[in-house]
Amino acid sequence: MKKTNKICGVIAAILITTTLWAAETAASAFKKAQNYQAQENWYKAIEMYQQAVKKNKSYGEAYFGMAQCSYALEQYNLVLTYLESAGKYLKNRTDLLNLRGFALIGLGETEQAKTVFETVLASFPNDIDARFGLAELEILEGRISGAEEQYGEALQRQNQNKKALLSLALVSQQLGKPEAAREYISQALKYYSASPEVYYYAACIAVDDDDLQTAEEYIRVAIQLNPSYKEAYQLLTNVLYRLERYEEVIEICTYRTSVDRKDSVAWYVKGMVHVALGDSSEAISAFSSGLVQDPNDEVMRTALEMVILDTTDIEDNLRKNWAKYHQTKAAEYIKKFYSVQAEYEYQRSLRLNPQATDARLAYAELLLADGYAETYLQQLKFVQSLGSISVKTKDTIEAYNSLLYNTLPIKWNVDPFYLDKTRFSIGVYFQKEHTGALHPGSAGVTARLFADLFSVSSKAEVAAGENAVESFTEAYELAREAEQDYFCILTFDENDRELTVSVDMFNGRTGNQVQSWNVYRTGNDRYSGALRKLKENLLASLPYYAKIIERTGTDILVDAGRIDGVSAGTVWAVVKAGSIRTADDVLEITYSPDSVLGTLTLTDAGEEISEGTLSVLGFYDRVNTDDLIVPLKLEEDSETESPAPAEEPAQTAPENILLTLIRSIK
């Protein structure tokens, strides 16, 4: 009996020891996970939390820790999964509910998130995090004043709460209340004088006030308190770039890339500094290094291509090498049947290297697939003019020469390639982006690319201003001096995930605003996608007219075709040359009824030119070449139609940037 009791005692001791060992191991793993989480090493933290739950399946705090790390990694579905496991062991915890609400915001389930936060506040009205959640929802809906109210409620309950103070400072600044913003920052600095984060946000406010000297002082204090504060180094770089202290910028960028070679933005800024200093080779070197680290940085790639276009000859190997990127990307889009994107990429490739025969032939195939056989043949002939061509291409040229023997260019002996079909001149101007921009100088890069996209369109000649304008007045003066029909002021805002490009368009003669567009994009290729959309919007909104280029009796040839949206059967007013002008305050053209000479009914619409039958107005025939034709629909609807509404983004960039800043507050 004693022996049996002894054996049982040993077994019990072993079980207790094993249980204690397992518990200690789980606790040890949990502690390590917390340390990694504090260091923002999210993946390692999740690994150690997983070790903890392997040892203790009911370790609710470990599940909650994994949910927090997954939220930091924006894996919102995973957050909900871990929270469900944590909720089995952690009861009546508002922090679990609040994190669930924030994850739902991340998933776009805003109504569910609102219900979660309101449920928490119904039982716990003093819960600060639930009010922070409601504030984020207000920002997402564009109700910044509503967010201000929620943060104010939180501050009333905890008058020294750091996140409430900093959030109120940022929100007040957004609402145009700089005095209130500075007061909240002052309180935060008073309570948290050792916090590098507070000094960083104080610098953000100073930057927004354009007080760059004060901003620099705050940033340097933040870096002294936290020498590895990456965001502070980036903001300091931007401030010094804005102050044109270029040597210091290069020094800091060199330090940033020595610490983290993958810091592509540092490479970008370094490149932009060398552009400003006129050192194109160093600029290309810096941009190239940055694109090795982040090939998808479209702003940096655009800046690099602009330098190459400005400083190299057509035959330069740099052009050939960098053009291949777009050609490869176009081929990938072709495989996915994304013809619009492929067309853009081929155009960018040929912009860099016009003599790339393989890219041009591939681009020509796209044009043929869209039904433009004449333009396809033009591209093939251009390839032929560059030198030797394959037998297949030569045979194709001969075949299409025969196939297109009865087209309008042959009938009228007109080569559309040499026609000047430009209808309007448009200037694109930009103001300096805010100093906290992800890519300093990106507004100028974007304005130039936007203007460059119109090089393949004959409808408008678009030119970008070389330098940032200080105001609308300066842009208007420049447009008047250049005799531009219209001018645009472009605004570019972005964070690391989203961007918004806005264009306000004005009449160059009167200065009146005639249209505006606002395009929001996220995801891959968002930069080029947004600019392509803006280009489409602008071209679709421009009024249209064409010019008579040949006449035989009542048969009239005009310089407009299917590629311009013209179709057979439409009726146009024939207007005396020089009588058309832009409308004062809408995006339309006007002319005096006395200038109408007759009507033209189009009978055959070619690709670039069209043919029609003339009907003169009155007894005398006064219609000549160079007279203009205007769609009669435009004349009939001009009094009732207003410009197309601007495209509204799902969420505007200032709100995105504000929310990104607030979410980063710890």
Does residue 612 register a pLDDT over 90? yes
pLDDT at 218: 96
SS3 of residue 615 by DSSP: strand
Does residue 15 register a pLDDT over 60? no
pLDDT at 641: 38
Q: Averaged over 519-535, what is the pLDDT?
A: 93
Give the Cα separation of 581 and 545 in Å (integer): 11
In sequence order, the β-bridge partners of residue 493 are 500
pLDDT at 404: 87
As a dihedral over the C-alpha atoms of residue 640, residue 644, residue 650, residue 656, rounded to 10 degrees, the angle is -110
pLDDT at 640: 35
DSSP-derived letter for residue 436 is: T
Q: Averaged over 561-577, what is the pLDDT?
A: 93
**How far, rounded to the nearest angstrom, does the alpha carbon of residue 72 sit from its chain's CA centroid?**
23
Question: How sure is the predictor about 105, in pLDDT bands with cuts at 50, 70 and 90?
Answer: confident
Q: Averaged over 265-276, what is the pLDDT?
A: 96
Question: How sure is the predictor about 22, in pLDDT bands with cuts at 50, 70 and 90?
Answer: very low
Question: How sure is the predictor about 492, in pLDDT bands with cuts at 50, 70 and 90?
Answer: very high
In this structure, how many other beta carbons lie within 10 angstroms of the beta carbon of residue 578? 11
Give the Cα separation of 31 and 582 in Å (integer): 71
CB proximity list for 649: less than 8 A, separation 6 or greater: 500, 518, 519, 520
* Closest by CA position to 73, among listed 28, 109, 36, 118: 36
Strands 460-464 and 424-430: parallel
Query: Each residue of 228-242: pLDDT tens digit?
Result: 999 999 999 999 999
Greater pLDDT, 645 or 319: 319
Question: How sure is the predictor about 635, in pLDDT bands with cuts at 50, 70 and 90?
Answer: very low
Q: Averaged over 29-48, what is the pLDDT?
A: 91
Amino acid letter, residue 539: L
pLDDT at 21: 45
Q: Averaged over 167-179, what is the pLDDT?
A: 89
pLDDT at 91: 87
Give the Cα separation of 146 and 139 in Å (integer): 8
SS3 of residue 422 by DSSP: coil
Of 391-400, 476-485, 525-534, 633-642, least confident by mean pLDDT is: 633-642
Record the tokens describing residue 615, joined without a space: 């009907």
Query: Each residue of 361-381: pLDDT tens digit?
Result: 999 999 999 999 999 999 999
Does residue 40 register a pLDDT over 90? no
Q: Averaged over 540-544, what is the pLDDT?
A: 93
Strands 546-552 and 628-631: antiparallel
pLDDT, mean over the chain: 89
Between the alpha carbon of residue 554 and those of residues 356, 511, 561, the distances in Å are 44, 41, 19
Q: Report the helix count and the strand count for the chain, using DSSP H and E.
A: 28, 13
Question: How sure is the predictor about 655, in pLDDT bands with cuts at 50, 70 and 90?
Answer: low
pLDDT at 9: 52
pLDDT at 108: 85
Record the tokens describing residue 358, joined without a space: 């393989």
